[in-house]
Structure 1
Amino acid sequence: MDTNAGLRERKKMATRTALHQAAVRLAADQGLDKVTVEAICDAADVSRRTFSNHFASKEEALLYSDHERLRRFVTLVRERPATETPWQALTAAVEGFNAEGPAFDEEFMDKLRMVRRHISLATHQAATYAAVERDLAAEIATRLPEATASPLRARLLAAATLTSMRVSFQYWLDQPDAGLDQLRLDALGIVGEKFD
């Protein structure tokens, strides 16, 4: 029974990945405005219904890898020892995230450039960050000392952490000679000075 559930989940992930890759490829070739859900379905060889089972829009399909990377970051925080403070766990998770980091091929860079140009993608990206922010805040809340624990503090720490990751990445896009891994750690350190 677990084997069947695992197989189903792998098939879902494979379908999502195929749709995501088709969306990225089409958007890079034709421009986001010309890409339709139907074209993505055709390129991925799936039905419109299958698309709708996985994504609500072409923007969501295009940003799927961002969503997965952010979810992975939350998992890395969750996997840290419970005795670590929020900033110890967050810093170690950023280091782990850096170590796992993907190679940025040209297709990925095209997608990032599109995010910066298209307001519809920026809006969806903000929604992705907001959803992950809630999960990260819940994890941070379990690590706050009782004297400073509050839902607001946990949410601010989560938002500041994710903003530091987003801004360091955007800075790196503008200044590619800067090392992305170190930029992430530096940005988190700056934020940490305010919350430590």
Structure 2
Amino acid sequence: MTTRRAGLREQKKQATREALRTAALRLALERGPDNVRVDDIAEAAGVSPRTYNNYFSSREQAIVAAVTGEREARVAAAVAGRPAGVGLADAVIEAIVDQYTAPGEPGRDALLLITTRPMLRDAFVETTGAIEHPLTDAIAERLGDADPHTARVLAASVAAAVRVALEQWLQTTAASATAGGLVVLSGSLPDLLRGALAPLAPALDAAEERARRQAS
């Protein structure tokens, strides 16, 4: 019964988070983010402002969360789910590219909102930090390495590389936004991600080779 209750609590928390981030993005698109208060988002989601603060520290964080969803968990799951025959470097790079460039991620209206508001751009880029811990676990599992520092350093480096790629992409895309509200996607995000992650491939390969030698 305890496990079931815990599962129900987690489902309720997830539903509340989803309601908050959905309300935040809807209100921001309708009114403009500067005209949306935390109280407005909480009311639209049917919770109290105090409950809101248990999930998000700002309206920007909630708005961006509607775009990113649970991407950090999806990245880690994608790495863990790659076949054993796929090298760690390829597994990580492909998982990042797949999850950051999935169809509808982000939608054009949401992209315009994020790219034309510096605070939203910053909040969007900051979400890259969230992938570090779940990715650490996924890398450690693939390495089977008793040393947790290797996986953590590699995951932190991946998060930093993704941040660099997103910053470049958002800056160039923001510069292309026209007065008429159109967004011209500038540069290929998959190419930017692959380019930023490429210098990490030798380190990922070396860690995998070291783990293979230790296991033999």
Shift of 1:51: 0.8
Of 79, 82, 91, the match for 1:80: 82
Is 1:119 aligned to residue 129 of structure 2? no
Change (3 A) 1:12 1:151: closer
Are the equivalent residues in 2 in contact too, given 1:164–1:188 (CA < 8 A)?
yes
**How many aligned positions are there?**
185
Q: What are the ranges of 5 or more consecutive residues in structure 1 without an aligned counterpart?
A: none
Is 1:43 aligned to residue 44 of structure 2? yes
Q: What are the ranges of 5 or more consecutive residues in structure 2 without an aligned counterpart?
A: 174-182, 203-216
Instruction: Give RMSD over aligned pairs.
Output: 3.5
CA distance in 2 between partners of 1:64 and 1:20 (Å): 6
Q: Percent identity?
A: 34
Q: Which has the larger radius of gyration?
A: 2
CA distance in 2 between partners of 1:150 and 1:95 (Å): 20
Q: Per the alignment, in what secondary structure is the counterpart of residue 174 of structure 1?
A: coil
Are the equivalent residues in 1 in contact too, given 2:165–2:193 (CA < 8 A)?
yes
CA distance in 1 between partners of 2:151 and 2:44 (Å): 47
CA distance in 2 between partners of 1:74 and 1:94 (Å): 9
TM-score w.r.t. the length of structure 1 is 0.71
CA distance in 2 between partners of 1:36 and 1:109 (Å): 23
TM-score w.r.t. the length of structure 2 is 0.66
- Which deviations, in whole Å up to 9, do the C-alpha atoms of 1:72-97 show, x marking residues without a partner? 11231133356643322124424763
- Which deviations, in whole Å up to 9, do the C-alpha atoms of 1:139-167 show, x marking residues without a partner? 557768x9xx6976654344324544676
CA distance in 1 between partners of 2:73 and 2:42 (Å): 25
